[in-house]
């Protein structure tokens, strides 16, 4: 997996093929992305040479050699010519990793979805949609604190203060949205707590009715509202003795 904006490598998963003798295999899996990307291992048993580094898979104790550009093979010993466009990454002789504004087998085609000026406000990131689906389509990746199709709205803010000496390293926020005609919808996010801080700020991205905060194996009912109130800032105190 790579960061599409920076093209920095993040990690790899190992998925076994149960029936390799079949011409087609269908795999169904759940990928869990760790908060911190894995680093290359100095204790790896593989000899990747000078053109690669040894990494462990995110979901497996198995290891592999990640090769630099223009090299491939199990031990990064095969050299090949890279025909990808500039500013792209050559993974092997036939696979090119394109930057955000380009696509195609060799990354020479330019996206027309995001215009020359950024339609996303508040320094939001314009993400083009596949031109084969919608030639003029894009979505805005908004910075924290802003929402909307063009990041034009300020999102709800929830300030949580911990009135206790035991401060967690991370909290889980369980957002629950209620519906009249179907099952409720729950979304879980997590937030790291800075060292020596008693205040955590959450920004609301979607309407919700109930919010539970979970930490130290306890859950706290933080917000309960029959109707969602847009542009509303909330301040909550959590006391572990309550």
Which residues, including other chains, have CB under 8 Å from residue 127's CB and lie 6 or more apart? 100, 114, 138, 139, 140, 141
Residues 127 and 160 in one domain: no
Q: Are 51 and 77 in contact (CB under 8 A)?
A: yes
Q: Give the confidence band of 240 by pLDDT, cuts at 50, 70, 90.
A: low
Residues 197 and 217 in one domain: yes
- Taking only the tens place, the pLDDT of each residue in 78-107 is 998 888 998 899 988 788 999 888 888 999
pLDDT of residue 23: 87
Q: Taking the CB of residue 223, how many other CB atoms lie within 10 A of it?
A: 21
**Hey, what long-range contacts does 56-64 have (CB within 8 A, 24 or more apart)?**
57/11, 57/12, 57/13, 57/14, 58/11, 58/12, 58/13, 58/32, 58/33, 58/34, 59/13, 59/14, 59/31, 59/32, 60/13, 60/14, 62/14, 64/12
Please, which residues bridge with residue 72 across strands? 78
- Taking only the tens place, the pLDDT of each residue in 106-152 is 999 888 778 677 889 999 999 888 656 666 678 899 998 898 889 99
Residue 74 located in a structural domain: yes
Q: Are 72 and 93 in contact (CB under 8 A)?
A: yes
Residue 186 located in a structural domain: yes
Residue 91 located in a structural domain: no
Residues 142 and 173 in one domain: no
Whether residue 242 is predicted with pLDDT greater than 60 in this model: the reply is no
pLDDT of residue 136: 62
Q: Are 189 and 203 in contact (CB under 8 A)?
A: no
Q: Give the C-alpha separation, 201 to 162, whole Å.
A: 12
**What are the structure tokens assigned to 237, written together?**
């105190």
The closest alpha carbon to 170, from 194, 187, 188, 186, belongs to: 194
pLDDT of residue 67: 92
Residue 37 located in a structural domain: yes
> SS3 for 51?
helix
Residue 225 located in a structural domain: yes
Q: Are 142 and 151 in contact (CB under 8 A)?
A: yes
> SS3 for 134?
coil
The closest alpha carbon to 65, from 75, 80, 77, belongs to: 75
Rounded to whole angstroms, what are the CA distances from 20 to 23, 24, 29, 93? 8, 8, 17, 24
What is the average pLDDT across 208-236? 88
- Taking only the tens place, the pLDDT of each residue in 155-205 is 889 999 988 777 888 899 999 999 988 899 999 998 888 888 888 999 988
The closest alpha carbon to 227, from 212, 213, 207, belongs to: 207
- Burial of 149-179, coded b for 16+ CB within 10 Å and e otherwise, reads ebbeeebbebebebeeeebbeebebbbbeee
The pTM is what? Answer: 0.68
Residues 138 and 176 in one domain: no
pLDDT of residue 118: 82
Q: Which domain holds residue 197?
A: 156-238
Residues 2 and 37 in one domain: yes
Whether residue 241 is predicted with pLDDT greater than 70 in this model: the reply is no
Residues 18 and 56 in one domain: yes
- Taking only the tens place, the pLDDT of each residue in 17-68 is 888 888 888 888 888 888 777 777 778 888 899 999 999 999 888 999 999 9
């Amino acid at each position: 997996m790579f960061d599409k904006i920076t093209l920095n490598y993040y990690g790899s998963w190992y998925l076994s093929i149960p029936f390799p003798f079949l011409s087609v295999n269908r795999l169904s899996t759940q990928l869990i992305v760790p908060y911190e990307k894995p680093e290359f291992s100095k204790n790896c048993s593989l000899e990747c040479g000078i053109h690669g580094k040894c990494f462990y898979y995110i979901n497996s104790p198995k290891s592999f050699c990640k090769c630099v550009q223009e090299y491939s093979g199990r031990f990064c010993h095969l050299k090949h010519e890279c025909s990808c466009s500039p500013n792209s990454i050559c993974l092997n002789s036939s696979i090119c990793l394109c930057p955000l504004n380009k696509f195609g087998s060799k990354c020479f085609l330019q996206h027309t979805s995001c215009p020359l000026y950024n339609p996303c406000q508040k320094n939001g990131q314009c993400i083009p949609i596949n031109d084969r689906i919608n030639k003029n389509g894009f979505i805005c990746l908004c910075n924290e604190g802003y929402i909307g199709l063009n990041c034009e709205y300020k999102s709800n803010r929830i300030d949580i203060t911990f009135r206790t000496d035991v401060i967690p390293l991370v909290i889980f926020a369980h957002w629950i949205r209620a519906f009249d005609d179907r099952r409720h919808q729950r979304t879980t996010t997590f937030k790291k707590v800075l060292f020596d801080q008693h205040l955590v700020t959450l920004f609301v991205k979607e309407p919700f009715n109930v919010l539970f905060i979970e930490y130290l194996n306890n859950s706290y009912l933080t917000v309960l509202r029959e109707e969602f109130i847009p542009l509303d800032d909330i301040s909550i105190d959590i006391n572990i003795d309550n």
